[in-house]
Amino acid sequence: MAPPLIRKSAPKASLTKTHAGDDFRLPGVLEFVSKLMAPEQDALRSIRENTVKDGLPPISVGADEGKILDLLVRVCGAKKAVEVGTLAGYSGAWIARALPAGGRLHTFEFSPKHAEVARRNFQRAGVADKVTVHVGPARETLPTIEGDGPFDFVFIDADKVSYVHYMRWAAAHTRPGALVVADNAYLFGKLHLEPSKAGEDAPAVPSMRETLTLMTDTKVFLSCAMLPTGQGMAVAVRR
């Protein structure tokens, strides 16, 4: 007998699940996929593993998200990339590795201590020649690179209250076809809440919502989608 076309267990579709309704992002499956698709170069793994020893918080993207950044950088043929929020340089190393020879990543970090750790990590990862670390509040330091624009790729991963400012900057300084990417777009599960219910993330709720609204403005971006990583990674392509 021919196998049935639809599994007996297939549940109903919903807005948040796949069309077939299932969500197979199970721990064992995710671990299998990470090992297959996002193996970390030794230098990258040691950045992540040393972040806490270096006295920095363990809030970098994970290896799967690093590999997504690699894919996105290559998809848009980026030569000139910008990152807001360097931390120890983990995501920056993934981005820089994906750039061609002669490419440049400008990465922006508020904390001089984080920037120093990141510079050392970029050296160890063999990408220091492609990366410039800018120290200070990004609202003040982003304008210093505007003469090098327009940019091909912008990754926003710093203070969430300023995301809308960074996204407006990205819209103004990218070329058609550029990709803009916003990490933590689910705002730690608070995106949909009234600010009064969002605790310490309250000030960031309007900023994150305005960021996503701008990314879905078809006068500015051709297409926008949420990559449903654990934290939510919003991606849009510049019109």
Binding site for ligand DHB (CB under 6 A): 59, 157, 183-184, 231
Under rule CB under 6 A, residue 106 binds ligand SAH: no
Residue 211's closest CA among 150, 157, 173? Answer: 157
Is the Cβ of residue 93 or residue 220 nearer to ligand DHB in the bound state?
A: 93
Of 158, 164, 171, 234, the one binding ligand SAH by CB under 6 A: 158
Cβ contacts of residue 135 below 8 Å, gap of 6+? 109, 110, 111, 112, 115, 141
Residue in 40, 152, 159, 183 binding Mg ion, rule: CB under 5 A: 183
Among 44, 60, 121, 170, which residue interacts with ligand SAH (rule: CB under 6 A)?
Answer: 60
Question: Which amino acid is located at 23 in the chain?
Answer: D
Least gap, CB of 50 to Mg ion (angstroms):
18
The region of 13-21, 70-78, 95-103, 156-164 touching Mg ion under the rule CB under 5 A is 156-164
Binding footprint of Mg ion, residue count (CB under 5 A): 3
Asked if 121 is part of the footprint of ligand SAH (rule: CB under 6 A), the reply reads no
Smallest separation, CB 42 to ligand DHB (Å) = 23
Long-range Cβ pairs for the range 98-101 (8 Å, 24+): 98/69, 98/70, 98/71, 98/73, 98/74, 99/73, 99/130
Choose the binding region for ligand SAH from 81-89, 98-106, 143-151, 167-175 (rule: CB under 6 A): 81-89
Q: 137 touches which of ligand DHB, ligand SAH, Mg ion, none (CB within 5 to 8 A by kind)? A: ligand SAH
Count of other CB atoms within 10 angstroms of residue 73: 26
Alpha helix positions (H), 51-195: 63-75, 90-98, 112-124, 138-141, 163-172
CA distance 232 to 56: 22
Number of C-alpha atoms within 13 angstroms, CB side, residue 19? 1
Q: Is 45 left (phi over 0), alpha (psi -120 to 50) or beta?
A: alpha
* Total number of residues that touch ligand SAH (CB under 6 A): 19
According to the binding rule CB under 6 A, does residue 87 interact with ligand SAH?
yes
Query: What tokens does 21 get?
Result: 């309704």
CB neighbours (10 Å) of residue 138? 25
**Residue number, 63 or 220, with CB nearest to ligand DHB:** 63
In this structure, are residues 173 and 150 in contact, taking their beta carbons and an 8 Å threshold? Answer: yes
Closest CA to 164 of 201, 211, 203, 123: 211
**Taking CB under 6 A as the rule, does residue 111 contact ligand SAH?**
yes
Residue nearest to ligand DHB (CB): 59
Minimum distance of ligand DHB from residue 177's CB (angstroms): 26
Contacting residues toward ligand SAH, per CB under 6 A: 59-61, 85-87, 90-91, 108-111, 114, 137-138, 157-159, 162
Contacting residues toward Mg ion, per CB under 5 A: 157, 183-184
